């Protein structure tokens, strides 16, 4: 059995101590980070190595984006793809010794206006999702897990108020449709919702709320999916809401799942 976690850290250099705290308290075998906001060579690895995370695969750039995979289990670099040709570090993959491939994604947020005619970034988000669909369709993944900040809350119970968010980027029908097409193309199973089918689930709360905990205007933007051949091995999903209350937190919290593989 191994545990995998995904967390949009919003600067791994600023929050090195928070990463170390998660690794100490939860000890996932694999931690996938997004928004590292750092060139790979400047990611602080010593504290993570000291905790047993001796394996590391990442892509980065200065100031923006960036994805990394820290692992206690041996992994090898399984490449990346520049989805939508943006030149951003938003995807990296790793392979475990048992043959499982882990994809770590950071889907573009998409700006504020949900219209590709008025907002270039929204179109780029849709194009990114369309290319995910096409890649999964052309080469159907097997024995694969895909995690990350997908920047879409697909279900009505993945947001604090479905009706109020229908025109808010991250929950518009067109985004949900594009995400569903990518999910369907790979036959991906939403492991978090397989394990927790009922009830409101959030993994992100805005920095802009006066009191994020009391207002509780959250969204489930961070996901763990698996291909059908291994999806039933996934269990014990959880979202670590208290992490949002840590000192100088990320606006996202870790999402975890176990796999009996």
**In whole angstroms, how large is the CA radius of gyration of the chain?**
17
Figure out which of the listed residues 97, 139, 198, 248 binds DNA, where binding follows CB under 7 A.
Answer: 248
String of contacts with DNA for each residue 63-82, x by CB under 7 A = xx------------------
How many residues bind DNA (CB under 7 A)? The answer is 19
- Point out which span in 10-18, 20-28, 46-54, 133-141 binds DNA (CB under 7 A): 10-18
Distance of CA 12 to the CA centre of its chain: 15
- Could you give the strand order of the β-sheet that contains 75-77, starting from the edge strand earlier in sequence? 75-77, 91-96, 101-106, 144-149, 222-226, 189-190
The answer to whether 111 contacts DNA (rule: CB under 7 A) is yes
Does 14 contact DNA by CB under 7 A?
A: yes
In eight-state DSSP terms, residue 186 is T
Q: Where are the alpha helices (DSSP H) in 108-227?
A: 120-138, 173-185, 191-195, 212-215
Do 140 and 187 meet the contact criterion of CB atoms below 8 Å apart?
Answer: yes
Token pair 């705290």 is at which residue? 21
Site string for DNA, 206-235 (x = CB under 7 A): xxx---------------------------
The whole-angstrom separation of Cα 74 and Cα 71 is: 7
Take residue 110 and report the two structure tokens written for it.
């998409």
Q: Give me the least distance between CB of 164 and DNA, in Å please.
A: 9
Q: How far is the CB of 92 from DNA (least distance, A)?
A: 17
Nearer residue to DNA within complex by CB, 7 or 55? 7
Q: How many other C-beta atoms lie within 10 A of the C-beta of residue 252?
A: 24
| Nearer Cβ to DNA (63/236) | 63
Q: Which of 1, 49, 52, 62 binds DNA (CB under 7 A)?
A: 62
Contact residues: DNA, CB under 7 A: 10-11, 13-14, 37-38, 62-64, 108-111, 121, 151, 206-208, 248
């Amino acid at each position: 059995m191994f545990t995998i976690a995904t967390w949009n850290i919003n600067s791994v250099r600023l929050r090195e101590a928070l990463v170390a705290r998660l690794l100490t308290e939860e000890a996932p075998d694999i931690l996938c980070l997004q928004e590292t906001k750092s060139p790979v060579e400047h990611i602080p690895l010593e504290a993570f190595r000291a905790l047993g995370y001796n394996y590391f695969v990442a892509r980065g750039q200065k100031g923006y984006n960036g994805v990394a995979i820290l692992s206690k289990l041996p992994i090898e670099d399984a490449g990346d793809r520049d989805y939508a040709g943006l030149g951003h570090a938003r995807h990296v993959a790793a392979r475990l010794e048992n043959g499982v491939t882990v994809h770590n994604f950071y889907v573009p947020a998409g700006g504020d206006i949900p219209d590709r005619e008025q907002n270039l970034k929204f179109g780029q988000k849709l194009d990114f999702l369309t290319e995910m669909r096409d890649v999964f369709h052309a080469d159907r993944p097997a024995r694969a897990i895909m995690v990350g900040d997908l920047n879409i809350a697909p279900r009505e119970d993945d947001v604090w108020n479905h009706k109020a968010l229908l025109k808010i980027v991250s929950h518009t029908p067109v985004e949900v449709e594009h995400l569903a097409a990518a999910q369907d193309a790979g036959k991906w199973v939403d492991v978090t919702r397989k394990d927790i089918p009922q009830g409101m689930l959030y993994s992100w709360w805005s920095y802009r709320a006066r009191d994020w905990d009391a207002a509780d205007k959250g969204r489930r933007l961070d996901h763990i999916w698996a291909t059908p051949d291994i999806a039933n091995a996934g269990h014990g999903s959880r979202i670590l809401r208290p992490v949002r209350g840590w000192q100088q937190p990320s606006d996202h919290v870790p999402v975890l799942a176990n796999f009996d593989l």
